[in-house]
Chains A and B, each alone.
Chain A
Amino acid sequence: MRVPIRILSIATSAFWIFLIIFSASAIYSMRDFQVNFGQPQTSTTEDHELLFSFPMSVVNTGLYGIADFNISRSLLDEDGSVIAGTSIFIPTIGQGQTINVTQNVKLNVTDLLQTHQSLLINDTDLRTNTMLSMLAAGMIPLQASSNSTMQWGAPLNNLTLGTLQLAISNATYYVIRVPLSFENHAFFDLSGTVWLSAYNTVGQLIGQGQTSIQVTQNSPYDGNLEIYVPIGAGPIVRIEVYFVTTFFNYKQEIAANGD
């Protein structure tokens, strides 16, 4: 009985030593594993999508390789719903290896602004969720996640439609001027047309006008929109303002007092 017990003793001791050394060295090895995030870049694609580029470098100078490295990033709205996301998978990161990657998150602004119209006129903070998973030392599953915010600049920030101004244009038409001002805080230049439609008491379209706008990033716009309306068309009760741009369409109504 003594010999089997002695063998059992030696075997368990050897396994314990191996397990402890492996665990300690694996933890120590993680000290030399780094994920460095660069400065995010923003651009637009030909399909009128916003492209957020997140450059990063993964440095593994530890004692062991890293397997199944996956990093996913998602943009969330104020309700916590995912509005865009992407992930990168690297099968193995060998010992002493440095990998530079750029994670691109595409955001369809047209779809986004149709479902989240408040983003058109209000600057806000979008939440970004970054999740990282890997097999440390090739066999220990590890997951880390972090939340941060990213500033969203509204293309029609502080949109103001001023008081309607009426003036007689000639014997048959009068002109309505609507002061329009906003600031383009978006990541893109704004170009398009603003349409104005005037309706009378029976809901009939009695006048229409349009103005082209070109507003670069972080620039204000201040101008007047004009509609020519026949004098006998009746009182105006409603004016609709349409923004038709390369990135979005947006409609706002102004109630008139029936003058």
Chain B
Amino acid sequence: MATEENCTEKKMHNFVVKIVKAGVKAAVVIVIYAILIQFLAPISSIIPSLQQTIQTFVIVYVVLMIISDLASGTLFQHVFNAARALFAMIYLVFFLNAGIFEYTSGNLSLTVDLRLFLVIAMMLGLLELAKSVLQAINYVGERAEPVLI
């Protein structure tokens, strides 16, 4: 009976730790976003959709991060990490229009070639994805029961 209660208490304690950890990480990301959006303010006044697009990205990214942290200690943590990396890559490709960002207002047209930035971001995204796959393999490997011969 006492062992059962200890086990439930430990589970509760672990879950609270996970929530706190996820909350702290989400708060850090939101603070970074709030600082960065100040830097982007001059561009946001020219391109009103920019802030909304970044906001959507941050919301989805943070949600996936929280779910991943809550699922830590299970295989789903790595699945959600991989999903987050994939989401970041796909969102960047669509948002940056495959690296060529075009904006037209009145008789002014602006084109920014962000292909180099996109390539670097894609490589980092692929590294994140590879890391998640490696973590999943490692997790499955560690959980596999040893076979006694």
Contacts and interface: CB of A to CB of B under 8 A. Distances in A.
Interface in B27-65: 32, 36, 39-40, 42-43
A201 interface: no
B111 A140 contact: no
What 5 A-B pairs come out closest when comparing CB atoms? Answer: A141-B113, A31-B42, A28-B39, A24-B39, A1-B138
Nearest to A144: B110
A140 B40 contact: no
Contacts of A12: 124, 127-128, 131
B111 A142 contact: yes
Contacts of A1: 134, 137-138, 141
B69 to A, nearest CB: 14
8 contacts: A1-B138, A5-B134, A16-B124, A20-B32, A28-B39, A141-B113, A142-B110, A145-B108
A36 B114 CA distance: 26
A9 interface: yes
B39 A140 contact: no
A136 B113 CA distance: 10
A16 to B, nearest CB: 6
A23 to B, nearest CB: 6
B90 to A, nearest CB: 16
A146 B107 contact: yes
Contacts of A143: 110-113
Contacts of B32: 20
Interface residues of A, number: 30
A8 B124 CA distance: 10
B42 to A, nearest CB: 4
Contacts of A144: 108-111
Interface in B104-133: 107-114, 116-117, 120-121, 124, 127-128, 130-131
B72 interface: no
Nearest to A1: B138
A146 B109 contact: yes
B144 to A, nearest CB: 13
B112 A140 contact: yes
Given A5-B131, A141-B113, A144-B111, 14 more contacts: A1-B137, A2-B138, A4-B134, A8-B130, A20-B32, A23-B117, A28-B42, A31-B43, A136-B112, A140-B116, A141-B112, A142-B112, A143-B110, A145-B109
Interface string A9-40: 10110011001100111011011000000000
A160 interface: no
Interface in B88-116: 107-114, 116
A8 B138 CA distance: 14
Given A12-B131, A23-B117, A148 B124 contact: no
A8 B113 contact: no
A72 to B, nearest CB: 15
Contact of B107 (A4, A5, A147): A147
Contacts of B128: 12
A147 B36 CA distance: 33
B125 to A, nearest CB: 9
A145 to B, nearest CB: 5
A24 B40 contact: yes
B112 A5 contact: no
Residue from the set B116, B124, B130 with the largest chain A CB neighbour count within 10 Å: B124
A139 B120 CA distance: 13
Interface string A73-115: 0000000000000000000000000000000000000000000
